[in-house]
Structure 1
Amino acid sequence: EDYLELRPPPPRPEYDVVCIGLTGAGKTSLLSRLCSEGSDGIVPTTGFSIKAVPFPNAILNVKELGGADNIKKYWSRYYQGSQGVVFVLDSASSDEDLEAARNELHSALQHPQLCILPFLILANHQDKPAARSPSQVKKYFELEPLARGKRWILDGSTTDNMDEVKESFSHFIGLLEDKDIEPVRI
């Protein structure tokens, strides 16, 4: 009598990812929703927290670093061992905060431990009236010249549309999986 042998599913690959962005960008809320945790009572992350975020084809061990000024200066201590970067920005923030976020993203993109890694940049809070579109953010952040030759994705996000956020992460996981790809020779 034939019976199906029950094998455990193959282990999903795990990737260590660092998540950065200014306080209030929405990092914790997005990650909590991705882990199907409630998002009430979320307080700004002090120091850092680590979450294992499950996706169908991978598990991301996301090290989320608090965005307050007194923590930001220590961000780079936590970059070691990262395989990808998630950068969350508040697309509805003041020009001043956007400028600060831009400076942080630029220094991350140029940081020796991060510059070779894939980046997922989320222009969060797209549901707010003052939100700038991803294309406005891309222009304002001058991503084209800076990130040329790097693997990065810039998407809009909001905790109201987690399907879209999961879609962004699944593209990002695609970049993480492709790290061994040879550069194309023409």
Structure 2
Amino acid sequence: MSEHIQLSLALCRIGLYTCLRTLCCKGPPPPRPEYDVVCIGLAGSGKTSLLSRLSSESTDTIVPTTGFSIKAVGFQNAILNVKELGGADHIKKYWSRYYQGSQGVVFVVNSACSPAELEASRAELHLALQHPQLCTLPFLILANHQDQPAARPVPEIKKYFELEPLARGKRWILAGSSTADVEDVRQSFIQLISLLEDRDAEPARI
């Protein structure tokens, strides 16, 4: 057998060995980071339905959340452990008891609600943005039910809620949403994950 053929066979064996070692010895992918997020909003804002759609669950038997529920929502680069708090009047006064440990906030607004309900949502959002346990966290604010005829457009919600002056210096996203377009909702949550990652990357303050 010529030296040329022997060299070719040796190179083939090395290549095959390298490929097999890569396939067999490749470790499991690194775990996705997890973030604890609190989700708040008045009753009827659509929090439960949005989270169920993100989790590919049926929304046919949705009932209002009483107390709180926790749902792990998976994304390609992270997992959000979302603690959803009920929005009824007798529940929301206890919201602050569940804020501890949160790394981000999702606030859902019913953009098609009555003027009185919109004002109540505005007041609750202002309280959340200024709460000591939430004021430094990234916020995702969803103007939900955008598929309804009475829905106010996102710029109107932004102006009415006075987000520019109130949230100046904070990290926040305002986006429209509806259960009819879950991909848009998913993209909004991915933007929130980017804010959470940026916060993780910040140097510790001493």
Q: Same fold (TM over 0.5)?
A: yes
1:181 paired to 2:202: yes
Percent identity of the aligned residues? 74
Deviation at 1:52, TM superposition (A): 0.3
Q: 2:143 aligns with which of 97, 104, 123?
A: 123
Please give the per-residue CA displacement for 1:116-162, whole angstroms capped at 9, x wherever unaligned. 00000000000000101111000000001000000000000011111
1:10-159 → structure 2 map (5 Å cutoff): 10-159=30-179
Please give the per-residue CA displacement for 1:100-124, whole angstroms capped at 9, x wherever unaligned. 0000000000000000000000000
3-state SS in 2 of match to 1:61: strand
| Aligned residue identity for 1:138 | K
Which has the higher Rg, Structure 1 or Structure 2?
Answer: 2
3-state SS in 1 of match to 2:180: coil
Alignment TM-score, normalising by the size of structure 1: 0.96
Cα distance in 1 for partners of 2:182, 2:202 equals 30
Cα distance in 2 for partners of 1:171, 1:33 equals 18
Q: Which has the higher helix share?
A: 2
- Compute the RMSD of aligned alpha carbons: 0.8
Name segments (4+ residues, structure 1) moved above 3 Å.
Answer: none
Cα distance in 2 for partners of 1:145, 1:115 equals 14
| Aligned residue identity for 1:127 | D
3-state SS in 2 of match to 1:49: strand
Tell me the equivalent position of 1:164: 184
| Aligned residue identity for 2:55 | C
| Aligned residue identity for 1:105 | L
Cα distance in 2 for partners of 1:112, 1:81 equals 12
Alignment TM-score, normalising by the size of structure 2: 0.87
Cα distance in 2 for partners of 1:36, 1:127 equals 19
3-state SS in 2 of match to 1:120: strand
3-state SS in 2 of match to 1:177: helix
Cα distance in 2 for partners of 1:7, 1:171 equals 29
Cα distance in 1 for partners of 2:28, 2:117 equals 48
| Aligned residue identity for 2:155 | S
Q: Which runs of 5+ in 2 are unaligned?
A: 1-16
Deviation at 1:181, TM superposition (A): 3.0
3-state SS in 2 of match to 1:51: strand
